[in-house]
Structure 1
Amino acid sequence: ESELLYTLTLAVVMLLFLGRIVGGYTPSPNSIKYIVSLQSSKGQHFCGGSLVHKSWVLTAAHCLTPLTLRTVKLPIVSTSRCNSSNSFSGNITTNMICAGSSTGGKDACKDVGILMFQGDSGGPLVCDGRVYGLVSWGNGCGDPRFPGVYTAVSRFRRWIDKTIYSPFSRCLKSAGLFSRED
């Protein structure tokens, strides 16, 4: 089945050790203002994220040593193709989006064999300045048979809005844990 013609821009933070964007490019400094690097108290990057509100970052759930922001343009892959026996064999759900090149050679990944801890996790899958997905998981790196898998943000929009605008959030703001400008 043919890949959707829509091309999304995936922006993620590179890792120092084996992390990479395959076939990507370096964007202009400060040109992608919603990208967030989640860092340890020692300033070490461990996951990416998207600024979705002045005080809220959206990232992958499993994101509880990066120098360069990189991007790669990838076409969306149909769910049926992604679920084929040649790819993920039915493991892709409606909460997921697949994106990857049919010829391979472009991806957002950190491939260390069996261990797949990716510092690009939580980074956004973006089209026209809107976040449609979050880097979630994959199989290999740049393999045309296995496109990258992203969490479909639209499936969680109600939860995101409820979280951002909850009474608890207002309490945090009044306690000075958010900036006064929110």
Structure 2
Amino acid sequence: MWYFAKFNILLTSLAVAFTCSSALRMHGEPYEGLRYRNTRPTQTSRNAGATGRIVGGQEAIEASAPWQVTIQNIYGNHFCGGAIIHDRFVVTAASCVSGLQKSWIQVVTSTNDWMGLAWKYDVSAIYVHCNFDKPLYHNDIALLELATLIAYDDQTKNITVADEDELVEGETLTMTGWGSAVEGGDYPNALQQLSVQYLSNEKCRSAYGYSEDVDMGHLCTTSPVGKGACHGDTGGPLVNEKGQLVGIGNWGVPCGRGFPDVFAKMSYHADWIRSTINGCQQT
């Protein structure tokens, strides 16, 4: 009976996941960057104001997440998030930038409005983890080296990467981003934030039918149905109560359907980040 119960859970999870044709990084779909590299901001997004948001979130207070960046294509259209962790480095998801040339993207800082006045930076190098998607959904992390030093001010600061795994079940974490409010919707102009709770990997795997797509390099969060990550939130930061970066948005079943959101765990990748920034490893 235990085997049948486990099999039914797996079938249920897969049925939900694979019927979401617009789900974040589902099997066989192109990476975020490749999907949106030639898109332009729509008239709807220009007029959206703060009406759209991370599903169930709220508009972030100005400069409350000064490490947040928007990663845009050459037409100025947002497609992924990221976080400033060094004077010249931004961390994001590998699925956001894999397959892209550095001249195809720009990093924008100092703004809560991704279409507003802000500082734009060219990218001089893209470092994708050498084991990205080996297997699928694993090591989904990348670093963007900027062509110039970041100009820090009240709205632009870096964030410390969590070096140790100290999270406890139910701990409150904060995610931010410009992701859609609904599947297939336009990105909101105003940065949104949402409080979520840390979920153990064991419970996360159970929610996904004991999938191997969640491992020790991942971090999961849970939130009520109607709240969670959506398209455009990939690569965005997840921050603990100490103000440390603990995760970068990877994958899940959007948007706010009650499944856990899955992030790359920063403490697991801390050594890779340090060695890459220091020039000891180029991937």
TM-score in terms of structure 1 length: 0.71
Pairing 1:155–2:277 present: no
In our comparison, the structure showing a higher alpha carbon Rg is 2
Paired with 1:168 and 1:89, the residues of 2 have a C-alpha distance of 33
Paired with 1:88 and 1:27, the residues of 2 have a C-alpha distance of 34
Question: Which of the numbers 63, 66, 70 marks the counterpart of 1:30?
Answer: 63
Paired with 1:140 and 1:44, the residues of 2 have a C-alpha distance of 21
Question: Which of the numbers 93, 98, 117 marks the counterpart of 1:60?
Answer: 93
Paired with 1:27 and 1:143, the residues of 2 have a C-alpha distance of 22
Structure 1 unpaired stretches of 5+:
1-14, 110-117, 170-182
| Residue of structure 1 in register with 2:247 after alignment | 133
| Residue of structure 2 in register with 1:120 after alignment | 233
1:124 maps to amino acid: P
- Residues 37 and 49, structure 1, Cα contact 8 Å, conserved in 2: yes
Residue 47 of structure 1: SS of its match in structure 2?
Answer: strand
Partner deviation per Cα, 1:70-113 (whole Å, 9 max, x = no partner): 000000111111111x4342331111111012x3221011xxxx
1:46 maps to amino acid: F
- Residues 44 and 66, structure 1, Cα contact 8 Å, conserved in 2: no
Paired with 1:26 and 1:125, the residues of 2 have a C-alpha distance of 16
- Residues 45 and 66, structure 1, Cα contact 8 Å, conserved in 2: no
Paired with 1:72 and 1:94, the residues of 2 have a C-alpha distance of 24
| 156-165 vs 87-96, greater mean Cα deviation | 87-96
Shift of 1:33: 0.6
Paired with 1:149 and 1:20, the residues of 2 have a C-alpha distance of 19
Paired with 2:281 and 2:216, the residues of 1 have a C-alpha distance of 30
Residue 158 of structure 1: SS of its match in structure 2?
Answer: helix
1:134 maps to amino acid: I
2:199 maps to amino acid: V
Structure 2 unpaired stretches of 5+:
1-41, 98-186
Paired with 2:68 and 2:265, the residues of 1 have a C-alpha distance of 17
| Residue of structure 2 in register with 1:179 after alignment | none
